[in-house]
């Protein structure tokens, strides 16, 4: 669907369920005793990959759109899949499930699409090997396809070189299958959904400073979880509401966990008119409605400890920076290079094509904002976050913005273009 310049943007929306929480709900439910019920589940391709993997290992999972019921079989209730597990495009599925699979008595193999086969898995192979796991990259290139399982794990302390919730979660999940305490220290804090949720399922798990630790072999018990809206999906509309003329948007029921909500602080730092309303706690996670209105934005620096709290939002933050006066510098974000696409390269290419002054760096980008943008054909590299970020840029660009692929939004936000179209046509 081509995107044209918006004259105004007004309305009230909800966004799909949080991707990180949806994945974890299925995984933790599968290895718990009894029933786990998820409402507000993200019915997107990545979370469907997680469901597919656990069904293949004998777990009965009923899904009706955003309502999911998992009949858990306990910590040792999974059975070997007769086929290679298919993780699709999902890094979260790959890295978290590997922690669980490494602790099983049977051997599993997993693989995904072309993008997943290029993403670094040595970051989980290293700690899992230290735990005594049999795990190997079948092409010996540190990437999927992976084979793992069939050995007894031992508890370790792991000093992670990267701030990554996927690595941290992988090690903690493997720790469920080891005697004693497994712990992980990160250089900078990453999202803490695993810690919050596993505790709710009955695990003995603690967080102190940058270290999370878990006691092995707990009895996990199925839970009822209301999945809040994903701030990473809300981010597109937060930015749209700030950069479009005559905009006033209310985005309801968004997860505002501080380990995820860096975009709110950056929007405020840039002069954005953004307010959190009706703040509350739902299933152990902070939730709010977010109101955004047209704002005069100015550039700022985005660096340091805030980076993991907005890592998935950086493409759309770059779009916001292109619409702000002055310079925005994004630093300490080399992790962008190993996402669904190399997002330093893909953001730079597409923003440049729209007429923005942007320079890529080794760990981020420098954006001199305030130049008029013009429409282009966006090269998405099949990266959902690139497609959606540039749809938002299209709302303020002269002329038409089109896409080499729109379907990739199905990974995290299948109805994105429909929601956007409803707002702009009002």
Handedness of CA 412, 118, 49, 75 (dihedral sign): negative
User: Does residue 383 touch ligand S3P according to CB under 6 A?
Assistant: no
User: Does residue 309 touch ligand S3P according to CB under 6 A?
Assistant: no
User: Does residue 166 touch ligand S3P according to CB under 6 A?
Assistant: yes
Task: Give the nearer residue to ligand S3P in terms of CB position, either 22 or 348.
Answer: 22
The candidate with the shortest Cα–Cα distance to 389, out of 337, 331, 343, 335, is 343
Q: Which of 147, 195, 230, 312 is the binder for ligand S3P (CB under 6 A)? A: 312
Phi, psi torsion values for 191, nearest 5 degrees: -55, 145
How far apart (Å, rounded) are the C-alpha atoms in residues 58 and 151?
A: 21
DSSP code for 228: P
Stretch that binds ligand S3P, among 27-35, 134-142, 163-171, 367-375 (CB under 6 A): 163-171
Task: Give the nearer residue to ligand S3P in terms of CB position, either 201 or 376.
Answer: 201
User: Does residue 164 touch ligand S3P according to CB under 6 A?
Assistant: yes
Q: Kindly name the residue from 46, 230, 312, 383 that is annotated as catalytic.
A: 312
Q: Taking CB under 6 A as the rule, which mask of x and - marks residues 111-130 in contact with ligand S3P? A: --------------------
Q: Is 7 exposed, middle or buried (0-12, 13-18, 19+ CB in 10 A)?
A: exposed
User: Does residue 311 touch ligand S3P according to CB under 6 A?
Assistant: yes
User: Does residue 225 touch ligand S3P according to CB under 6 A?
Assistant: no
Contact 343, 299 (CB under 8 A): no
For residue 159, give Cα distances in angstroms to 22, 142, 209: 27, 19, 13
How far is residue 6 CA from its own chain's centroid?
28
Minimal distance, residue 164 CB to ligand S3P, in Å: 3
Phi, psi torsion values for 389, nearest 5 degrees: -60, -40
User: Does residue 165 touch ligand S3P according to CB under 6 A?
Assistant: yes
The 10 Å CB-count burial string (b at 16+, else e) for 158-197 is bebebbbbbbbbbbbbbbbbbeeebbbebeebbbbbbbbb
Handedness of CA 154, 160, 162, 163 (dihedral sign): positive
Task: Give the nearer residue to ligand S3P in terms of CB position, either 138 or 188.
Answer: 188
Q: Which of 49, 50, 92, 183 is the binder for ligand S3P (CB under 6 A)? A: 92
User: Does residue 288 touch ligand S3P according to CB under 6 A?
Assistant: no
Task: Give the nearer residue to ligand S3P in terms of CB position, either 116 or 395.
Answer: 116
Task: Give the nearer residue to ligand S3P in terms of CB position, either 92 or 350.
Answer: 92
Number of residues that bind ligand S3P (CB under 6 A): 11
How far apart (Å, rounded) are the C-alpha atoms in residues 281 and 41?
A: 17
How far apart (Å, rounded) are the C-alpha atoms in residues 183 and 226?
A: 28
Mark whether 46 is an active-site residue: no
Minimal distance, residue 37 CB to ligand S3P, in Å: 21
Stretch that binds ligand S3P, among 51-59, 126-134, 161-169, 239-247 (CB under 6 A): 161-169
Task: Give the nearer residue to ligand S3P in terms of CB position, either 335 or 400.
Answer: 335
How far apart (Å, rounded) are the C-alpha atoms in residues 166 and 285?
A: 19
User: Does residue 341 touch ligand S3P according to CB under 6 A?
Assistant: no
Task: Give the nearer residue to ligand S3P in terms of CB position, either 41 or 247.
Answer: 41
Contact 254, 17 (CB under 8 A): no
Minimal distance, residue 339 CB to ligand S3P, in Å: 6
Minimal distance, residue 109 CB to ligand S3P, in Å: 22
Task: Give the nearer residue to ligand S3P in terms of CB position, either 92 or 389.
Answer: 92
Q: Which of 5, 15, 20, 112 is the binder for ligand S3P (CB under 6 A)? A: 20
What is the pairing mode between strands 178-179 and 153-154?
A: parallel
3-state SS class at 23:
helix
Instruction: Give one DSSP letter per residue of 387-417, joined into a string.
Output: HHHHHHHHTTSBS-BEES-SGGGGGT-TTHH
Minimal distance, residue 201 CB to ligand S3P, in Å: 16
Please list the active-site residues: 312
Contacts with ligand S3P by CB under 6 A lie at 20, 92, 164-166, 169, 190-191, 311-312, 335
């Amino acid at each position: 669907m081509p995107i044209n310049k918006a004259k105004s943007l007004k309305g009230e929306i909800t966004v799909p369920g949080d991707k990180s929480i949806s994945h974890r709900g299925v995984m933790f439910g599968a290895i718990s005793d009894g029933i786990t019920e998820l409402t507000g589940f993200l019915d997107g391709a990545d979370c469907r990959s997680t469901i597919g993997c656990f069904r293949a290992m004998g777990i009965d999972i009923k899904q009706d759109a955003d309502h999911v019921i998992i009949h858990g079989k306990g910590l040792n209730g999974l059975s070997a899949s007769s086929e290679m597990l298919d993780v699709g495009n999902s890094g979260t599925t790959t890295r978290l499930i590997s922690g669980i699979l490494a602790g099983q008595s049977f051997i599993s193999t997993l693989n995904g699409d072309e993008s997943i086969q290029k993403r670094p898995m040595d970051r989980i192979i290293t700690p899992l090997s230290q735990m005594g796991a049999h795990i190997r990259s079948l092409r010996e290139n540190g990437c999927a396809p992976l084979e793992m399982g069939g050995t007894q794990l031992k508890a370790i302390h792991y000093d992670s070189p990267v701030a990554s919730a996927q690595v941290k979660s992988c090690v903690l999940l493997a720790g469920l299958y080891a005697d004693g305490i497994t712990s992980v220290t990160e250089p900078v804090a990453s999202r803490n959904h695993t810690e919050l949720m596993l505790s709710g399922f009955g695990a003995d798990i603690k967080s102190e400073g940058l270290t999370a630790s878990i006691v092995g072999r707990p009895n996990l018990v199925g839970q009822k979880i209301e999945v809040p809206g994903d701030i990473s999906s809300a981010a597109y509309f937060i930015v749209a509401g700030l950069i479009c003329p005559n905009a006033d948007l209310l985005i309801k029921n968004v997860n505002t966990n501080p380990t995820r909500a860096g975009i709110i602080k950056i929007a405020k730092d840039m002069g954005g008119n953004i307010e959190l309303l009706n703040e509350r706690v739902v299933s152990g996670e902070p939730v709010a409605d977010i109101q955004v209105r047209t704002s005069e934005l100015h550039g700022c620096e985005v660096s340091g400890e805030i980076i993991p709290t907005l890592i998935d939002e950086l493409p759309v933050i770059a779009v916001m920076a292109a619409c702000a006066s002055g310079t925005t510098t994004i630093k300490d974000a080399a992790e962008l290079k190993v996402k669904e696409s190399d997002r330093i390269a893909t953001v730079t290419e597409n923003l440049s094509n729209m007429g923005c002054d942007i320079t890529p760096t080794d760990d981020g980008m420098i954006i001199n904002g305030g130049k008029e943008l013009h429409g282009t054909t966006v090269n998405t590299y099949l990266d959902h976050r690139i497609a959606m970020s540039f749809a938002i840029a299209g709302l303020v660009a002269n002329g038409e913005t089109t896409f080499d692929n729109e379907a990739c939004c199905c990974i995290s936000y299948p109805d994105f273009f429909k929601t956007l179209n409803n707002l702009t046509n009002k």
